[in-house]
Chains A and B, each alone.
Chain A
Amino acid sequence: MLQIKNLHARVGEADILKGIDLEVRAGEIHAVMGPNGSGKSTLAQILAGHQDFEITEGSVVYEGKDLLDMAPEERAREGIFMAFQYPVEIPGVNSAYFLRTGLNEIRKHRGEEEMDAMDFLGLIREKLELVEMDESFLKRSVNEGFSGGEKKRHEVLQLAVLEPRLAILDETDSGLDIDALRIVAHGVKTLHSTEKSIVVVTHYQRLLDYIVPDYVHILLQGRIVKSGDRELAIELEEKGYDWIKKEQADARVEA
């Protein structure tokens, strides 16, 4: 589904990604973990099409197409969804309009009929239940005045409505209390299937208790320095990122 090869990226003069290799097959769940500043959010944003980053080397292929050549909206229509670490407030645009407009763009792209307000209401009610959100959210401006937890649940609501093939969760678990985390995790898990893949970008291991990854990758200073299964995440939780940093430093000394 997704092949990332030797990806290098920079912002201004700063090199952020220094050669990422990652392959995600249909149905797999990958966790990308790393300390602050390791480049994990940059990787998520590049996949979604954020244009602040300059790709200096490497390639990303999604479903056989050159992803880096696609506009953000094309990626969304082709089934890529990124849950934002910091969802943007949009005053004056209500959530229902926002969700329905996005959904209809994607449906149009798939050759499906656009959904009218009535049909959409039926769909959204079901999805709201999934993330335990009230219908009154639909009338509010997108993310405006939402609490941190509400913003994250609203991201998962979008994920549920848009039904992407590849979902990238950019620190969706950060700042959530345990109840909100459980709701978010449940929402995400419900949407996972043998055709649908998930990349979980996270600082903490906690979310992985609910969304169990097939692979765990540790990102450090723009490189994946270690890959493994769920056990790696648990080990990381116990020993902390300093363990990996030290291991890397030792490896460099030996070399």
Chain B
Amino acid sequence: MAKITHKDKRDWYLARFARFEQQLNGASASALHQVRRNAIEFFAESGFPTSRDEDWKHTNLAALTRIDFHPLLDGDPAATSAADINPFTFADLECTRLVFLNGLFAPHLSTSASLPPGVQVTSLARALEETPEKVEPHLGRYLPYQQQGFAALNTAFLKDGAFVYIPPNTELEVPIHLLFVSRAGEQPSASFPRNLIVVEASARASLIETYAGFQDQIYLTNAATEAVIGANATLEHCKIQRESDAAFHVAALHFNEARDSRLTANNISLGGRLTRNDITTLLDGEAVESTLNGLYLMNREQHVDNHTLIEHARPNCASHELYKGILADRSTGVFRGKIHVHQDAQKTNAYQSNQNLLLSDKADITSKPQLEIYADDVKCSHGSTTGQLDQDAVFYLRARGLGKWDAINVLTRAFAGELLERIGNETVRHQLEQLVGGKLEAADHYGERA
């Protein structure tokens, strides 16, 4: 029993891939399919990362590789109604919304606000058929799918996801909401959403990705987003992970920024049994400004692992990163943030901070900020703090009449609030404040209340 079962599930996914290939029929001759094949070949060789990989040292994938996840690449989206997904939408937000069920586009749940001419907000599968000339120059160009098992698997099973195209000089007034809902069948399911976002020169867009699922369902979301931000363009991106607490969520986000562009990438993790985010931004032109904000709130046995990589490749760019974590009960977290300043990137200004709040003695965080600097005229700083709630502040609130748990709750929400207030969209911020408040109430330690 102790032997490694099926080479960490490699054979299982190779067999699923063979079946997927059969379903593709004629499409298997396409250039895209060659990319899929390259990806699965890499996966066949390397499999999933293990704790021997430096980048995966603190995240144990044993539970994930024990389960047979069934890719639902031919599911029936019609079985899910608007009422089912309602809790995951923004009630008061005018937006263009694309909904995906187990990674596949669900037109009957999607809505569109009026969009400026030339803007495309559609499914990747459709875009590949209708406007391949816009997709092919970018798809698979940024994500290192031949270096890492999950990126390889996502690319091998690439079928659908969102495609967003904003033409030059176009400002999108209303945000785009991409909602990925997982609904497991009788067996644990897997989905592989793949998104491509292209914001052309001097254009502007705001985009929210929500990953959600239903209580207690076991499934795997292996998502990847590539975003290309043109010269002088602006993108505000917000990823909200609110999967089922029994789900596995592994996501990669790759931002490619041209000169004078601005990016704000917010990354909020609330759900999931195991969460891993790999967020990379390449500052590939002068005078780029990147802001990375992250909040993770975990309880019970949840585990979250955020890896960020900021590549300062050109001079005169600035990056600001703040990741805040709250860990309750027996939950565990990893933050690894690397700032890589290339030799050419003089006058770089980079600031990174990771702050963690442990609400229990059994919660644990591993925080590893990392600076790698090859230029000599730069301003870089980083810091990491981990602590418990300020007991003087708890006493102060109690001395004014607040109960112990209310005091703890107020202080913890304030800790999260400092991050959430950086989210520009008020409706999104409000929803997140509600989710954070609700989640704090649900932590096991509130059992002590009685």
CA distance A88 to B397 in the complex (A): 9
| Per-residue contact bits, chain A 135-167, to B (CB 8 Å; 1 contact, 0 not) | 000000000000000000000001000100000
Give the nearest-CB partner of A109 in chain B: B401
CB of B398 within 8 A of CB of A71, answer yes
CB of A72 within 8 A of CB of B410, answer no
Q: Which of B395, B413, B418 contacts A72 (CB 8 A)?
A: B395
CA distance A106 to B397 in the complex (A): 12
CB of B398 within 8 A of CB of A90, answer no
CB of B404 within 8 A of CB of A71, answer yes
CB of B400 within 8 A of CB of A76, answer yes
Give the nearest-CB partner of A93 in chain B: B414
Count the A-B residue pairs with Cβ separation under 8 angstroms: how many? Answer: 72
Q: Which among A73, A87, A105, A158 has the greatest number of chain B C-beta atoms within 10 A?
A: A73
Q: Is B411 positioned at the interface, with any CB of A under 8 Å from its CB?
A: yes
CB of A91 within 8 A of CB of B418, answer yes
Q: Is B403 positioned at the interface, with any CB of A under 8 Å from its CB?
A: yes
CB-CB < 8 A to A33: which residues of B? none
The smallest C-beta distance from B92 to any residue of chain A, in angstroms, reads 20
CB of B401 within 8 A of CB of A88, answer no
Q: Which of A50, A51, A102, A109 contacts B400 (CB 8 A)?
A: A102
CB-CB < 8 A to A49: which residues of B? 395, 398-399
Binding site of B, secondary structure by majority: helix, strand, loop or mixed? helix
CA distance A89 to B402 in the complex (A): 16
Q: Which of A75, A91, A92, A101 contacts B402 (CB 8 A)?
A: A101
Q: Is A82 positioned at the interface, with any CB of B under 8 Å from its CB?
A: yes
Q: Which of B395, B397, B407, B414 contacts A92 (CB 8 A)?
A: B414
CA distance A87 to B397 in the complex (A): 11
Q: Is A48 positioned at the interface, with any CB of B under 8 Å from its CB?
A: yes
CB of B411 within 8 A of CB of A90, answer yes
CB of A88 within 8 A of CB of B396, answer yes
CB-CB < 8 A to A158: which residues of B? 400
Q: Is B417 positioned at the interface, with any CB of A under 8 Å from its CB?
A: yes
CB-CB < 8 A to A62: which residues of B? none
Q: Which of B392, B395, B410 contacts A93 (CB 8 A)?
A: B410
Q: Is B415 positioned at the interface, with any CB of A under 8 Å from its CB?
A: yes
The smallest C-beta distance from B194 to any residue of chain A, in angstroms, reads 37
CB-CB < 8 A to A76: which residues of B? 398-401
- A88-B390, A88-B393 given as contacts; is B399 within 8 A of A72 (CB)? yes
Give the nearest-CB partner of A78 in chain B: B401
- A73-B403, A101-B402, A102-B401 given as contacts; is B395 within 8 A of A90 (CB)? no
CB-CB < 8 A to B398: which residues of A? 49, 71-73, 76
User: Which residues of chain B in 401-450 are interfacial with respect to chain A, using CB atoms and an 8 Å cutoff?
Assistant: 401-404, 406-407, 410-411, 413-415, 417-418
| Per-residue contact bits, chain A 35-66, to B (CB 8 Å; 1 contact, 0 not) | 00000000000001111000000000000000
CB of A90 within 8 A of CB of B414, answer yes
CA distance A73 to B401 in the complex (A): 4
CB of A92 within 8 A of CB of B400, answer no
CB of B395 within 8 A of CB of A50, answer yes
CB-CB < 8 A to A77: which residues of B? 401
Q: Which among B390, B396, B400, B402 has the greatest number of chain A C-beta atoms within 10 A?
A: B400
CB-CB < 8 A to B404: which residues of A? 71, 73
CB-CB < 8 A to B410: which residues of A? 93, 101
User: Which residues of chain A in 159-181 are interfacial with respect to chain B, using CB atoms and an 8 Å cutoff?
Assistant: 162
User: Which residues of chain A in 83-124 are interfacial with respect to chain B, using CB atoms and an 8 Å cutoff?
Assistant: 84, 87-93, 98, 101-103, 105-106, 109
Q: Which of B399, B401, B403, B414 contacts A91 (CB 8 A)?
A: B414
CA distance A98 to B413 in the complex (A): 13
Q: Which among A92, A105, A106, A109 has the greatest number of chain B C-beta atoms within 10 A?
A: A92
The smallest C-beta distance from A156 to any residue of chain B, in angstroms, reads 14
CB of B418 within 8 A of CB of A92, answer yes
CB-CB < 8 A to B395: which residues of A? 49-51, 72, 88
Give the nearest-CB partner of B398 in chain A: A72
The smallest C-beta distance from B293 to any residue of chain A, in angstroms, reads 15
The smallest C-beta distance from A81 to any residue of chain B, in angstroms, reads 8
- A93-B414, A101-B410 given as contacts; is B392 within 8 A of A88 (CB)? yes
CB-CB < 8 A to A101: which residues of B? 400-402, 406, 410
CB-CB < 8 A to B401: which residues of A? 73, 76-77, 101-103, 105-106, 109, 162
CB of A162 within 8 A of CB of B400, answer yes
The smallest C-beta distance from A145 to any residue of chain B, in angstroms, reads 14
Give the nearest-CB partner of B418 in chain A: A92
The smallest C-beta distance from B51 to any residue of chain A, in angstroms, reads 37
The smallest C-beta distance from B385 to any residue of chain A, in angstroms, reads 13
Give the nearest-CB partner of B420 in chain A: A92
CB-CB < 8 A to B390: which residues of A? 88
CB of B402 within 8 A of CB of A102, answer yes
CA distance A92 to B403 in the complex (A): 19
CA distance A175 to B411 in the complex (A): 28
CA distance A73 to B394 in the complex (A): 11
CB-CB < 8 A to A91: which residues of B? 414, 418
Q: Which 3 A-B pairs have the closest CB atoms?
A: A92-B414, A102-B400, A105-B401
A-B contacts, 13 listed (Cβ < 8 Å): A48-B399, A73-B399, A76-B398, A90-B396, A90-B411, A93-B410, A101-B400, A101-B402, A101-B406, A105-B400, A105-B403, A105-B406, A109-B401
* Additional pairs, 11, CB under 8 Å, beyond known A101-B401, A102-B402, A109-B401: A49-B399, A71-B398, A81-B399, A84-B396, A88-B396, A91-B414, A92-B414, A98-B400, A101-B410, A102-B401, A105-B406
